[in-house]
Amino acid sequence: MNARSVIVVGGGLGGLLASLRIAASGHRVQLFSLFEVMRSHSVCAQGGINAVLNTKGEGDSVEQHIFDTIKGGSYLANQPPIKSLCEDAPGLIGTFERMGVAFSRTPEGTLDQRLFGGVKNRRTCFAGASTGQQLLYSLDQQVRRLETEKQIEKFEWWEFLAIVKDPNGRCRGIVAMNLRSLEVRAFRADAVVLATGGFGQIYSPKTTCSTNSTGAAASRVFQQGARFANAEFFQFHPTAMIGDDKTRLMSEAARGEGGRIWVPRQAHDRREPLAIPEAERFYFLEEWYPSFGNTVPRDLASRAIWKVTREMGLGVAGRDQVYLDLTHLDSHQVETRLGAILSIYRKFSGVDPLSTPMTIFPAAHYSMGGLWVDFEKDANTGGLRANSLRNHATSIPGLYACGECDYAYHGANRLGANSLLSAAFSGRVAGEAVSAYVSGLEQSVESDSHAAFDAEIRYQNQINHHFIHADGEENPYDLHRRLGSMMMDSVGVVRDNSKLNETVATLVELEQAFARLKLGEANPWANQTLAYARQVFDMVKLAQVVAASALARDECRGAHHKPSFEDPAPEHSQAGHKDFEAFRQRWKDNNQKWLKTTIADYHPDGPRIGYEPVDTSLIAPEEPRDYR
């Protein structure tokens, strides 16, 4: 076999697993990251990673994991990838253990598992409340070993700017910028994998995502012709600690461990929370969703908090906040299992969650949508065909995507702790697929002409020159702030078409504002404002896709909620009841129209929105989603 070269952009869970897989197939990897890979956003993941191990003897099954994931996503995700994801999860946990991940264990020594949202079984493996860090560090160790063997070469502090295509439209490398020297350089590769994470920063500062979750890389390849899918499905996590500087997550694990959400029944009740008697507290999730209570899926929990605060006026102290209460739980147990988030809360609020309920509110958290990727179904198993070069291939030949930057596994709403799983699983699958792809290439990129690479370097340098020397009045930090507050206001937890129409128009104005930019920093070395301003521009381009996709979808599904198209479930949820059957029929009729993947294609005048069918070959959409 000829060893080929593959570029992996992104050193989070997805990118590192892809890199390891490609190296294991005998190909060379060049791994790019905005900073040390150990600081990738995966390191922030707190609560855990799902896999059916049934260590609690609750009769959990892989079939149930598949069903929960499909239902949690409102049937919008293609089902063959979900089947393989859930089937492979236990094996992935074993792999991580062998790499040295110290998962939390019970006193008896078995792997401990906790409850997360939208499920009835304890299925989430965890390492205290810093699971992502443990997983990422274990992969980093493996990558370092392969670095010493020269199979993987790291380029940290390099920013991906563009792919380079050959005359046949195939991706044959990238152009990247050294973030210290601003050198713009081309790197050849037989194929490229993007694993650049999500785009929560378009909602900044009301996002739990780190500053590198801009989506700029995905936006750049979108502008170069890669299709983008389901952009309107953005998850708002119900329990974030909103700060003026930054928003910090209080993991769903807090509710999985028994945390309760409530507000005082009386508006503007000024008493200290623990002075309010039980009877005067409104545990709204427990009342409205008695079956799942505080662990309903995130879309429902966020909307319930929205309703209680914005519509019923019951926010704590009249503000956008509700209580997340751990004070009734065993403090030793909570400290052991949630210590990492408790210390974040203490540090940034000065309040101890063990003695006073936390105040929280929904914030932008996770992009279900992302780069469109293909899959090949195995007719025998109904899951993914192993080693198919179609799996995780974007619409540009030779360009693959995995991790949060693709759209593949979560449909309209992701279940908690399914994302570390999908990032890891998709990294492995993309690694296998791209290895199959490059193994089949007749010609290595080394024989390609220089022309396309040189042209792309020139083009990127022109953009840098334009940004550095622009002498207008617009400030990139201010443009980002305007983008974030507009997106939160109109493409947030609740949406309506008149605001979305305005937002689509305002986003065009925001893009035009870049013609009047002034960076205020012309330094040709380590100029952080240049990289940042370019990212903000590409965030605006991506936000246009999100807003246009949201405007086009006239229904309520998962995280996309337009009250004017809402059809609430009837009081009676029993099959056979006439109200319920009438509701089920309306829901099915709506599925005929809207159970389809949104596909955005780039056009200089704005994204073009189309749709493609969803593969529902495993579980037919017969049961409306109901968590009451």
What residues are annotated to the active site?
298
131 versus 503: smaller Cβ distance to ligand FAD: 131
Residue type, 78: N
Which 128-187 residues touch ligand FAD, going by CB under 6 A? 131-132, 159-160
Q: Does 127 bind ligand FAD (CB under 6 A)?
A: no
Residue 490, φ and ψ in degrees, nearest 5: -115, -20
Which 526-585 residues touch ligand FAD, going by CB under 6 A? none
Q: Does 435 bind ligand FAD (CB under 6 A)?
A: no
Q: Does 48 bind ligand FAD (CB under 6 A)?
A: yes
Query: Which of 4, 41, 114, 584 touches ligand FAD by CB under 6 A?
Result: 41
Least spacing, CB of residue 207 vs ligand FAD, in Å:
8
- Residue 550 belongs to what H/E stretch? helix 528-552
**Nearest by Cα to 32 from 122, 215, 207, 161:** 161
Query: Which of 217, 285, 504, 551 touches ligand FAD by CB under 6 A?
Result: 217
- Residue 609 belongs to what H/E stretch? strand 608-613
308 versus 533: smaller Cβ distance to ligand FAD: 533
Site map 190..209 versus ligand FAD, x via CB under 6 A: -----xxxx---------xx
CA atoms within 13 A on the CB side of 446: 5
196 versus 321: smaller Cβ distance to ligand FAD: 196
Least spacing, CB of residue 109 vs ligand FAD, in Å:
23
Question: In the numeric block, which tokens belong to residue 182?
Answer: 């601003």
3-state secondary structure of 367: strand
Query: Which of 23, 226, 329, 423 touches ligand FAD by CB under 6 A?
Result: 423
Torsion over CA of 140, 146, 152 and 158, rounded to 10 degrees?
30
CA dihedral (124, 128, 130, 133) positive or negative? negative
Query: Which of 19, 321, 419, 544 touches ligand FAD by CB under 6 A?
Result: 419
Judged on CB neighbours under 10 Å (0-12, 13-18, 19+), 340 is middle
Query: Which of 7, 12, 115, 241 touches ligand FAD by CB under 6 A?
Result: 12
Provide CB contacts within 8 A for 287, sequence distance 6+: none
Q: How far is CA 198 from CA 201, 437, 478, in A?
A: 8, 25, 22
49 versus 609: smaller Cβ distance to ligand FAD: 49
Query: Which of 117, 128, 315, 403 touches ligand FAD by CB under 6 A?
Result: 403
Length of the chain: 628
298 versus 365: smaller Cβ distance to ligand FAD: 365
Question: In the numeric block, which tokens belong to residue 31?
Answer: 């791994």
The CB density around residue 266, as the number of other CB atoms within 10 Å, is 12
CB closest to ligand FAD, residue no: 12
Least spacing, CB of residue 236 vs ligand FAD, in Å:
12
Which 323-382 residues touch ligand FAD, going by CB under 6 A? 365-366
Distance (Å, whole) CA 9 – CA 482:
29
* Interface with ligand FAD (CB under 6 A): 9-15, 32-35, 37, 40-42, 44-49, 131-132, 159-160, 195-198, 208-209, 212-213, 216-217, 249, 251, 365-366, 403-405, 417-420, 423
